Amino acid sequence: MPNAGKSTLYNALMGDKLAVVNPKAQTTRHRILGIKTTDTHQIIYSDTPGILRKVSYKMHETMMKSVNESMQDSDVLILLVDINEKDFSEEVGERFNKFSGKKIVCINKIDNTTQEWLEKKMHSMREQFKADQYIPISALEKFNVDVLENWVLEYLPKHPAYFDGEDVTDRSERFFVNEMVRNNILKLYSDEIPYSIEVFTLSFKEVPKIIRISCEIVVERDSQKRIVIGSKGAAIKQLGIAARKDLEEFFGKQIFIELFVKVRENWRNNPNMLKQFGYDNE
């Protein structure tokens, strides 16, 4: 479900901050594979966009396509539900119940509830969704995350490893730069601005002591460009400082980052631009 804490759970399972975590909806736009390899097994976790109630742009169509493809090639499906979510679309139930593999319902954010409400929610989930397991968790506090992973291991078929043991994700360094800059846009800007923006890394040059990065922030209108830049460049300067801090923590190196803003009208409905931004390569 959107904003249920999928990326927080994904990071907890992986032990790395590979997915952008933000309380705003539609934070995850792309499918991200996390590859967890130990001496005894390899698990490939897939973080996908949430199922949207309303598809307004071609970008949304590609996001939902990645959800569909992820369900088709998965052995175990985890439906993560916010314990305070009151209703679910019929599509969510149909997609989940029709899945042919093993199914787990996780009720998240139980650290912010009562035992009575949790019991009611567990009963409700058993009535709405046909699953093999129903597990209450707190992804933020990592409560019962190990229980969830043990059930995932129980349900996974035996198969040779798909990836090299050193791999932790299928995404490039530039992808994570894009995601971290965009996450800070979600934090710093309000209204529709974050949802009409895309970030594209123009250059990524790593030398022994520093990584030099250049990013293009794509907006749809001149008015949005002015908001992103801010008065005398104050807003984009603040964005650069925040993004640099996150990138230095992620890469463990000093970061120099340049941010440029460019208007590309209606990019969310433009197939060529969506392809450039990686939406057809899920």
Return the CATH superfamily for domain 6-155. P-loop containing nucleotide triphosphate hydrolases (3.40.50.300)
Give the number of other CB atoms < 10 A from CB of residue 269.
15
pLDDT at 23: 59
Query: Got the DSSP string for 141-187?
Result: TTBTHHHHHHHHHHHSPP---SS-TT--BSS-HHHHHHHHHHHHHHH
Burial class of residue 232 (count of CB atoms within 10 Å of its CB; 0-12, 13-18, 19+): exposed
CA trace torsion 63, 199, 271, 72 (10° rounding): -20
Looking at the chain, the domain(s) classified CATH 3.30.300.20 span 173-276
Report residue 86 as tokens. 């009151």
* pLDDT at site 22: 64
pLDDT at res. 214: 98
In the prediction, which pLDDT does 56 show? Answer: 83
Q: How far apart are CA 211 and CA 247, in angstroms?
A: 10
Predicted local confidence at residue 66, as pLDDT: 85
The whole-angstrom distance between residue 224's C-alpha and the CA centroid of its chain comes to 24
- Options 3.30.465.10, 3.30.300.20, 3.40.50.300, 1.10.10.10; CATH of 173-276: 3.30.300.20
* Alpha carbons 120 and 272: distance in angstroms, whole number: 48
Residues of the chain with CATH 3.40.50.300: 6-155
Which residues of the chain have a pLDDT value below 50?
A: none
Q: For residue 73, what are its two tokens? A: 């090639």
